[in-house]
Chain A
Amino acid sequence: MNSDGTTRGGKLEKFSYDDQIVRWFIIATLIWGAVAMLLGITIAFQLADWHVNMNLQWITFGRLRPLHTNAAIFAFCGNAIFAGVYYSHQRLLKARLFNDLLSRIHFWGWQLIIVSAALTLPFGLTAGKEYAELEWPIDIAITVIWVIFAVNFFGTIIRRRERHIYVAIWFYIATIITVAVLHIVNSMEVPVSIFKSYSMYAGVQDALVQWWYGHNAVAFFLTTPFLGLMYYFVPKAANRPVYSYRLSIIHFWSLVFIYIWAGPHHLLYTTLPEWAQTLGMVFSISLWAPSWGGMINGLLTMRGVWDKVRTDPVLKFMALALTFYGMATFEGPLLSIKSVNAIAHFTDWIPGHVHAGTIGWNYLLIAGILYYMVPKLWNAKIYSVRLANIQFWTATIGLVLYVVSMWVAGITQSLMWRAIDSTGKLVYPNFIETVVKIVPMYWVRAIGGTLVFISFLIMFYNLYKTAKSGSIEAEPVLEAYALNSSSEEPNAAAHRKLEGWPMIFAVLSLIAILVGSGIELIPAMLSQKYIVKMSVVKPYTPLELMGRDLYVREGCYLCHSQTVRPMTHEVLRYGKASEAAEFVYDHPFQWGSKRTGPDLARVGGKYPNKWHFRHMWDPREVTAGSIMPRYMWLFDQKIDYDILKKKMSVMQTLGVPYTNAEVEGSVDAAKKQAEGIRDNLMESGVSKEVVNKEIVALIAYLQRIGVDYGKSEVSQ
């Protein structure tokens, strides 16, 4: 029996592969990869030295960081996924992509989305949720293009000439379905204007949905599609059979089923109910073996050809990528253990961990795949194996510098945060001491990142020269038999049968991811008792709401958290531990995930207005050694009162208890509050007239954060 169809019945059909679309996606991968990494090293140097922000609002850290993450994940990795999927999908199914026009709409649509990200994020147009910052019109465009991708993908499956779908395609299916679910659920937002919307969810709910999404963006955008690519390109490059079919089955299903539960490990020690936190932790631990299943199946496929790994750039990059994948997926479960997370969360250990994955696994695997595809698609030999080797070592050294410096920085800072002496006081009460200490590590990281960027440019050049030396030939015409009943395997095991029913396979994958999603999300969505309301917690005033939007616009949440964990050192440093009821009016939540600066959950009332005034003008005026950028434009730009009423009424729609009178009178109320702050500033010696400037709205918000409960008599 031969399952490749050549000896089977059915009609012999002629077809060809659409490789042109793959070439386009490869070029896009290279361009956006360079852009994403350039942005990455820019923000890395901004952390090492605040001057690199250049006092320009459009390139200040808080605006560029979302652009870096979006570019790296969706532009660089996204285009690489599409290139690799379209290349392998056709070959694994012996069928041309479903529709050439859809492929082209997919390509140009995706590039347009990326360009629109670059044209909105630097201007502060952001939804304020990590890795989902893009505003609602772009969210809709992403949905449309993703559906087009899905139609093209499943259409190809329908027209396949190969009865059974290979493990790579299992992973592609899980990717396409899950990303659609994640994106749509997390992007539920109510528009205020064409460039502004508020998340439908608030506070704890929003946090849960966001990190269910955020973690699974890692899972189903940076892991499952790449595992699928690995399953195609590693055995092809190594000329080896895949190590274990059985392992493929068990690690695929366990990975897909378990991954979706793991999101709450980003919210340990927060006000998320503890059962959900614990689920997040235990499912993360259970994820260790399923992840390693992929690593083993990749690395052991190279068994017997290790000599080629030494010489062949393709295999070399793939072997290292799989090794880093194994490292990152061991570190992940480790970090999700509550007591380890208590130390690592909010520190630089986390960006270190993430980059072990994105650089170590995604970039290096992409490098291997590109070195495989480009010579084939342009009919050429790799221009220089030597350059590929130089790239390999430059990237490796850069990555090691990155990861190690972030381990050191993260653990050092965390130990300083939590140190308490025998008189019961913090050993390092001034947060800035813990920042200054790790700045040298920020330099090491920036240098490591620069090496990674240089390595990428080397590959760019090497592949350009490779393509240039070759030529694109006419698509070869291939022949294969159409599917008919002769390729059915009636006595096959259940899973083998399932591989012959791709649509049922897709439905089962959907069910697998909906189980965990449903159990974690539905109670949060339905139960009103989920959050016990506190009568002291009131909605923001109109001016504070405007200030909050500025907080979101400037990306403050990327360096400042807004949640005090129930830990002694945090309560000593910041004040009362946060409660779920405090966040019920927060659309979107702004808990953040990193403390480059201190937590702000209790900053309201901590300093006088003038402190904030001077601090936003130049942080170093009040905190020597601060690495925070200056925000001078807040002192020039006027508060946009025109949109205020609309904002208030959208908030009303979302369930914030503003009365109609409050909405109607919001502009007057805001102006009155602004005058109060202006008067207070003038009393303390500020001579500049700032009553209608953004700084006043921001101060109003900062002075309100965490006050209602924090300053109330209600005890913990």
Chain B
Amino acid sequence: MKEDNKLHVEENEKHLLMDHNYDGIQELNHPLPFWWSFTFYGAIVFSTCYFVYYMFLGGPSLRQEFQKDYAVIIAYQQEYKKKEGIFDPELYAKFSTPENTKKGEEVFTNNCMTCHQEKGRGDIGPNLTDEYWLWAKGTPATIYPVVFNGVPDNGMPVWSEVLSKEEIYEAVAYVQTLHHTHQPNGKAPQGVKVDDN
């Protein structure tokens, strides 16, 4: 096919046309657009200042900023754990109604079932339907802190970092309904037999 089009040059740019010619390609020599030069040099100036401030003039490092931020959140957490980590019978009474226990079942399904299996028959985590206990003693007051603080060495997460205290009370209430049910295909007993209830 033939190149039948002629080079299109605007009237007001004819004086900018250079005598370069490569396979018919010619070049104008427009000056650099002002805003482009501004962006170009502006970015370099900014970059230099930024680098100098953070590297040489004591600008905080990413780690320092993190430490500051982290300390604030940890203070919040500690306050919460101190206040809510202790079993409160009044709150338990409030959150162990049949309606709340139903919600507790949901919490259990979404969070605990992975390890304790359906109806708490145990799998990765221990069986919750027999009379043997590893950390708690089968009562709400002894189960609550185990859930709240977890048993990290055994893979039981610190649930207070995941669930609200209301959800934990509800889940404990649900677990109470499983006690002594001796689900079929349950995991073998672990821990100490507790006879009191």
* Residues of chain A with a CB closer than 8 A to B27's CB: 241-242, 244-245, 248
A420–B74 Cα gap in the complex (Å)? 11
B187 proximal to A (CB < 8 A): yes
Q: Does A292 lie within 8 Å of B36, measured CB to CB?
A: yes
Q: Which residue of A lies closest to B76 (CB)?
A: A424
A343 proximal to B (CB < 8 A): no
* Residues of chain A with a CB closer than 8 A to B139's CB: none
* Residues of chain B with a CB closer than 8 A to A247's CB: 30, 32, 36
A14 proximal to B (CB < 8 A): no
* Residues of chain A with a CB closer than 8 A to B155's CB: 606-608, 611
* Residues of chain B with a CB closer than 8 A to A92's CB: 22-23, 25
Q: Does B70 lie within 8 Å of A568, measured CB to CB?
A: yes
Would you list which residues of chain B between 27 and 54 have a CB under 8 Å from chain A?
27-33, 36, 39-40, 43-44, 46-48, 50-51, 54
Task: Name B29's contact: one of A3, A245, A610, A716 (CB within 8 Å).
Answer: A245
Q: Which residue of A lies closest to B50 (CB)?
A: A282
Q: Does A423 lie within 8 Å of B19, measured CB to CB?
A: no
Q: Does B10 lie within 8 Å of A303, measured CB to CB?
A: yes
The count of chain B contact residues (Cβ–Cβ below 8 Å) is 62
* Residues of chain B with a CB closer than 8 A to A430's CB: 110-111, 162
Q: Does B161 lie within 8 Å of A2, measured CB to CB?
A: no
Q: Which residue of A lies closest to B77 (CB)?
A: A424
A241 with B28, Cβ < 8 A, contacts A420-B73, A429-B161, A572-B73 known: yes
- The stretch among B58-66, B97-105, B170-178 that forms the contact with chain A is B58-66
* Residues of chain B with a CB closer than 8 A to A379's CB: 1
A296–B23 Cα gap in the complex (Å)? 22
B17 proximal to A (CB < 8 A): yes
A532–B117 Cα gap in the complex (Å)? 45
* Residues of chain A with a CB closer than 8 A to B17's CB: 241
Q: Does B25 lie within 8 Å of A566, measured CB to CB?
A: no
* Residues of chain B with a CB closer than 8 A to A684's CB: 123-124
B142 proximal to A (CB < 8 A): no
Would you list which residues of chain A between 608 and 632 have a CB under 8 Å from chain B?
608, 610-611, 622-624
- How distant is B186 from chain A, measured CB to nearest CB, in Å? 11
16 contacts between A and B (CB under 8 A): A3-B20, A92-B22, A239-B8, A241-B9, A245-B27, A285-B47, A292-B36, A296-B36, A379-B1, A424-B76, A425-B77, A426-B161, A429-B162, A571-B70, A572-B73, A684-B123
Additional 14 contacts, C-beta under 8 A, given A244-B29, A285-B46, A293-B40: A3-B20, A92-B25, A235-B26, A240-B7, A242-B26, A244-B32, A245-B20, A245-B29, A250-B32, A423-B80, A430-B110, A577-B63, A577-B66, A607-B155
Q: Which residues of A pack against B, CB within 8 Å?
A: 1-4, 88, 91-92, 94, 162, 164, 166, 232, 235-236, 238-248, 250, 254, 269, 274-275, 277-279, 281-283, 285-286, 288-290, 292-293, 296, 300, 303-305, 333, 338, 375-376, 379, 420, 422-426, 429-430, 566-568, 571-572, 577, 606-608, 610-611, 622-624, 684-685, 716
